[in-house]
């Protein structure tokens, strides 16, 4: 029971991180019908920028732990979203009118570019995040000790998801994003500047991805320039699991994938956890090709 609960909370924390990354895939797919293969690398950039800012600004020494890390996370999100906007301008916008496959190839190219750029700047080695950024005392839930960090990661990702959901559902810009995802031409007839909507999506997605990168750095303590590949793949899986283009789907898919992975590595086999995650994906796609929420919540984005 104790092990199950530990694995469940661990899975939820990792799942929250997957969900944040998956949101970036799903939102870009929603408005552009493009899989942004460079998204995993934006996540890596978030992890590295977080590390650089942590060590060079020493914010956490001047401010108390939580405030320092929070401020830092905001800075990282801002910087990564800037890179996201540039990525769209340079790699995707010039190809907007051409065949869809061209943009996909461009996305793969951007991914390779980012990965090599990080390697050139930081070197091809593992980096270690400063430890004890935040007090990591266990919190007792139902008599079982849960690391505080795990709870914070889960809370932070859930907060960001709620904020995003409210933004998309309740605000004027959010409605414009949904309209653009449903029918771009009709959205333009409403006076919506579709280029601006796409820019906003390329601001939000990378910001969430960058934050997720920093969370991985803090949670696991170790980062590397290729980490975006496997996290990107997992988050992409999560987005498809939930129904690509669907925001609640990405959240559900991410959390579910995290839990499945965590439980299967505890009860089946650690070495097989990636394989099990992808087998689950294949099974769900066979039974429900549109993903879990793909049809029921018909709204795409």
Partner 1 sequence: MLLDIRDLHVRYGNVEVLHGVSLQVAEGEIVTLLGANGAGKSTTLLSISGLVRSFGGEIIFDGRALHKLPAHEIVHAGISQAPEGRRVFGTLTVEENINLGAFISRDKEKTAQTRRWIYELFPRLAERRKQLAGTLSGGEQQMLAIGRALMSNPKLLLLDEPSLGLAPLLVRAIFDTIKTINTAGVTVVLVEQNARAALKLAHRGYVLEVGRIILQGRAEDLLSNSQVRNAYLGGA
| 199 counts as binding partner 1 under rule CB under 8 A | no
Nearer to partner 1, 30 or 209 (CB): 30
| 298 counts as binding partner 1 under rule CB under 8 A | yes
| 182 counts as binding partner 1 under rule CB under 8 A | yes
Backbone phi, psi, residue 10, to 5°: -60, -45
Out of 179, 235, 251, 257, name the contact with partner 1 by CB under 8 A: 179
Nearer to partner 1, 136 or 195 (CB): 195
β-bridge pairing 138-141 and 127-128:
unpaired
Backbone phi, psi, residue 298, to 5°: -65, -20
Cα angle vertex 233, ends 223, 14, to 5°?
60
The CA–CA distances, whole Å, from 210 to 79, 81, 84, 94 equal 9, 8, 10, 25
β-bridge pairing 222-223 and 127-128:
antiparallel
Out of 118, 164, 176, 247, name the contact with partner 1 by CB under 8 A: 176
| 139 counts as binding partner 1 under rule CB under 8 A | no
Nearer to partner 1, 2 or 183 (CB): 183
- Residue by residue, DSSP assigns 135-188 as ---EEEETTEEEEHHHHHHHHHHHHHHHHHHHHHHHSHHHHHHHHHHH-HHHHH
| 192 counts as binding partner 1 under rule CB under 8 A | yes
| Token output for 42 | 């934006």
Give the residue among 256, 255, 249 at the shortest CA–CA distance from 295.
Answer: 249
Helix (H) or strand (E) holding 273: helix 273-287
Out of 90, 186, 230, 285, name the contact with partner 1 by CB under 8 A: 186
Q: How many residues bind partner 1, per CB under 8 A?
A: 20
| 299 counts as binding partner 1 under rule CB under 8 A | yes
| 104 counts as binding partner 1 under rule CB under 8 A | no
Out of 190, 268, 282, 283, name the contact with partner 1 by CB under 8 A: 190
Specify the stretch interacting with partner 1 by CB under 8 A; choose among 76-84, 86-94, 158-166, 185-193.
185-193
Shortest reach from residue 62's CB to partner 1, in Å: 42
Shortest reach from residue 88's CB to partner 1, in Å: 17
The sign of the torsion formed by the CA atoms of 14, 15, 16, 22 equals positive
Residue pair 262/8 in contact (Cβ under 8 Å)? The answer is: yes
| 188 counts as binding partner 1 under rule CB under 8 A | yes
| 300 counts as binding partner 1 under rule CB under 8 A | yes
Out of 185, 270, 286, 287, name the contact with partner 1 by CB under 8 A: 185
| 166 counts as binding partner 1 under rule CB under 8 A | no
Residue with token string 């959390």 = 255
Contact footprint for partner 1 (CB under 8 A): 172, 175-176, 178-179, 182-183, 185-194, 298-300
């Amino acid at each position: 029971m104790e092990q199950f609960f530990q694995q469940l909370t661990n899975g939820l924390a990792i799942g929250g991180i997957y969900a944040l990354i998956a949101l970036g895939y799903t939102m870009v797919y929603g408005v552009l019908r493009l899989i942004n293969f460079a998204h995993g690398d934006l996540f890596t950039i978030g992890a590295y920028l977080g590390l650089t800012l942590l060590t060079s600004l020493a914010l956490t020494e001047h401010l108390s732990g939580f405030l320092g890390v929070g401020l830092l996370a905001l800075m990282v999100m801002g910087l990564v979203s800037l890179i996201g906007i540039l990525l769209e301008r340079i790699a995707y916008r010039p190809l907007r009118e051409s065949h869809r496959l061209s943009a996909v190839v461009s996305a793969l190219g951007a991914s390779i570019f980012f990965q090599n750029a990080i390697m050139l700047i930081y070197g091809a080695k593992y980096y270690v995040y400063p430890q004890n950024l935040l007090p990591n005392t266990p919190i007792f839930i139902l008599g079982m000790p849960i690391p505080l960090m795990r709870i914070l990661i889960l809370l932070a990702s859930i907060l960001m998801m709620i904020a995003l959901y409210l933004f998309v559902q309740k605000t004027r810009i959010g409605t414009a994003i949904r309209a653009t995802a449903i029918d771009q031409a009709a959205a333009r007839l409403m006076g919506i500047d579709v280029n601006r909507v796409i820019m906003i999506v390329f601001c939000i997605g990378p910001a969430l991805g960058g934050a997720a990168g920093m969370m991985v750095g803090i949670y696991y303590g170790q980062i590397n320039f290729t980490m975006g590949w496997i996290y990107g793949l997992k988050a992409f899986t999560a987005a498809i699991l939930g129904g690509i283009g669907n925001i609640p789907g990405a959240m559900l898919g991410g959390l579910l994938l995290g839990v499945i992975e965590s439980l299967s590595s505890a009860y089946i086999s650690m070495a097989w956890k990636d394989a099990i995650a992808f087998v689950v994906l294949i099974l769900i796609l066979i039974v429900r090709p549109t993903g879990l929420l793909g049809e029921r919540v018909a709204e795409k984005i």
